[in-house]
Amino acid sequence: MPDLSTTWLGLSLKSPLVVAASPLSREPDAVARAVDAGAGAVVMHSLFEEQLTHDQMAAHRFIDATVDLDAETQGIRPGARAFTVGVEPYLRELERIKRRVDVPVLASLNGTTPGGWTRYAKRLEEAGANALELNLYEVGGPEGETGAAVEARQLAVVQAVVQAVKLPVTVKLTPFYAALTAFVRDLETAGARGVAVFNRFYQPDILLDTLDVDRQLVPSTPAELPLRLHALARLSATTTLSLACTGGVHSGLDAAKAILSGAHVVQLASVLLEHGPQHVAVLQGELAGWLDGKGYKSSAEARGVLDLRSAPDPHAWERLNYTRMLDGWRARDSWRRKS
Ligand SMILES: Cc1cc2nc3c(=O)[nH]c(=O)nc-3n(C[C@H](O)[C@H](O)[C@H](O)COP(=O)(O)O)c2cc1C
């Protein structure tokens, strides 16, 4: 059995297969089953900026309403902490999971603007999180905001969270940055220790019957993996940050591809929501079997073997692949062969 252990964000993990941020972490039993089946770490579902800002507003409104009360009445006023309705249950969930499993547990913060909410990172650290994943999910910034301004705003969020804690912080990114490797370099300067690529966009469809928006969350498929593999291969060649693959990993062979591209860990959401947390064991068996078959003694040995480090000019190489593929397709002409 090859050695599957890996180091991610400075944490030692027994396996690169990690439970991704998802509703699974709302159920400590499910988390424990994933860990028993081999998961090396767990990322909790997110605590959202909007949730935290709402909590702060509720606390302020309460204080405003009671500030003129006499000393006796003030004495029975509960502290502002009692009004952090969103954050308290989350902290309790985190503590429960920490008690159940012996692998690192990451809390997840999710937001896009710098502000007081980022200070909640400290509460997550105090509750026992081993690291933080900061999700910068946004489909588009405010109208008229330039790409440079979007990135500057997001870097300010990262800096604020990093400064609030001693824990390692990894940043979960969306795929559409004009210059991904440069932005990741800026994230490193801002103090991030890792990146997770990529968020899935939950692109709502249109319901033609009702002229409404269809907000159904459709699970991923392995077709979403190559976008991640390409980014990992580029990042693995250009950064020393820890790399997590998220999106489209449904088998141990998908995980092997991510590791060959440079991933330190592979996060799993849809596949576990579809097949159950114990399914980690299936992926682990497939990954170990593939590594063994290829003669790798460990997953670390396979990591980054297919990254772009050996390409002297990755940009030119990618353009060449692109033009070759389009040319090749014309020559094969699939529909003509079928008829
Ligand atoms: C039902 C569901 C809930 C999710 N909730 C979160 C969340 O709270 N925070 C987050 O960063 N990602 C969340 N995700 C995204 C996953 O962590 C993951 O990045 C994404 O689903 C792609 O991985 P997959 O192909 O393994 O599903 C969620 C995904 C699903 C399917």
Digit-coded pLDDT (tens) for 181-198: 999 999 999 999 999 999
- Return the pLDDT at 202: 83
Q: 262 alpha carbon to ligand 1 midpoint, in Å?
A: 21
Least confident of 62-76, 134-148, 229-243: 62-76
Kindly give, in sequence order, each residue whose CB lies less than 8 Å from that of residue 26, ignoring residues fewer than 6 positions away: 45, 93
Q: 45 alpha carbon to ligand 1 midpoint, in Å?
A: 8
Q: 95 alpha carbon to ligand 1 midpoint, in Å?
A: 21
Q: Which atom of ligand 1 is nearest to the CA of 220?
A: 25
Please name every residue paired with 7 in a beta bridge, in sequence order, or none if there are none. Answer: 12
Q: Which residues line ligand 1 (CB under 6 A)?
A: 20-23, 45-46, 108, 110, 135, 172, 200, 217, 220, 246-249, 268-271, 273
Q: Which atom of ligand 1 is nearest to the CA of 43?
A: 17
- What is the domain partition of the chain in residue ranges? 6-306, 311-339
Q: 50 alpha carbon to ligand 1 midpoint, in Å?
A: 18
304, 329, 334, 151: which is closest to 241 by C-alpha?
A: 304
Query: Cα torsion at 54, 60, 65, 68 (round to 10°)?
Result: 170
* Over residues 254-282, mean pLDDT: 98
pLDDT digits (tens, 9 = 90+) for 218-267: 999 999 999 999 999 999 999 999 999 999 999 999 999 999 999 999 99
Residue from 22, 46, 134 to probe ligand 1 pocket by mutation (most atoms less than 8 Å from CB) = 22
Q: 167 alpha carbon to ligand 1 midpoint, in Å?
A: 22
Confirm if 90 and 117 have CB atoms less than 8 A apart. no
- Return the pLDDT at 58: 60
Q: Which residue has the higher pLDDT, 206 or 63?
A: 206
Q: What is the DSSP string of 132-144?
A: EEEE---SS-STT
Q: 213 alpha carbon to ligand 1 midpoint, in Å?
A: 20
Please report where in the chains the tokens 């772009």 appear, as a residue: 308
Q: 291 alpha carbon to ligand 1 midpoint, in Å?
A: 27
Q: Is the dihedral of CA 61, 137, 90, 26 positive or negative?
A: positive
Residue 166 has pLDDT above 60, yes or no: yes
* Over residues 37-41, mean pLDDT: 98
Q: 13 alpha carbon to ligand 1 midpoint, in Å?
A: 21
CA 94 to CA 111: how far, in whole Å? 19
Fold classification of 6-306 is TIM Barrel (3.20.20)
Residue 137 class from Cβ within 10 Å (0-12 exposed, 13-18 middle, 19+ buried)? middle
Q: Between the CA of residue 238 and those of 211, 222, 242, 299, what are the distances in Å?
A: 46, 25, 12, 20
Q: Is the dihedral of CA 168, 251, 24, 40 positive or negative?
A: negative
Specify the residue with its C-alpha closest to ligand 1, atom 20.
Answer: 247
**What is the radius of gyration, based on Cα positions, of the chain?**
22
Specify the residue with its C-alpha closest to ligand 1, atom 22.
Answer: 247
- Return the pLDDT at 327: 85
Q: Which atom of ligand 1 is nearest to the CA of 21?
A: 17
pLDDT digits (tens, 9 = 90+) for 81-108: 433 447 999 999 999 999 999 999 999 9
Please name every residue paired with 338 in a beta bridge, in sequence order, or none if there are none. Answer: none
Kindly give, in sequence order, each residue whose CB lies less than 8 Å from that of residue 22, ignoring residues fewer than 6 positions away: 45, 269, 272, 273
29, 54, 55, 51: which is closest to 42 by C-alpha?
A: 29
Residue 8 has pLDDT above 90, yes or no: yes
In degrees rounded to 5, what are phi and psi of residue 205? -90, 175
Residues above pLDDT 70, as percent of the chain: 88
77, 78, 153: which is closest to 111 by C-alpha?
A: 153
Specify the residue with its C-alpha closest to ligand 1, atom 30.
Answer: 22
Least confident of 15-19, 103-107, 138-142, 319-323: 138-142
Confidence of residue 68 (pLDDT cuts 50, 70, 90): very low
Q: Which atom of ligand 1 is nearest to the CA of 46?
A: 8
CA 208 to CA 216: how far, in whole Å? 15
Specify the residue with its C-alpha closest to ligand 1, atom 23.
Answer: 247
Q: 243 alpha carbon to ligand 1 midpoint, in Å?
A: 17
Residue 325 has pLDDT above 60, yes or no: yes
Strands 265-268 and 242-246: parallel
Specify the residue with its C-alpha closest to ligand 1, atom 5.
Answer: 22
Confirm if 288 and 16 have CB atoms less than 8 A apart. no
In degrees rounded to 5, what are phi and psi of residue 240? -100, 5
Mean pLDDT rounded to a whole number for the chain: 90
* Over residues 2-11, mean pLDDT: 98
pLDDT digits (tens, 9 = 90+) for 283-323: 999 999 999 999 999 999 999 999 999 888 888 988 998 99
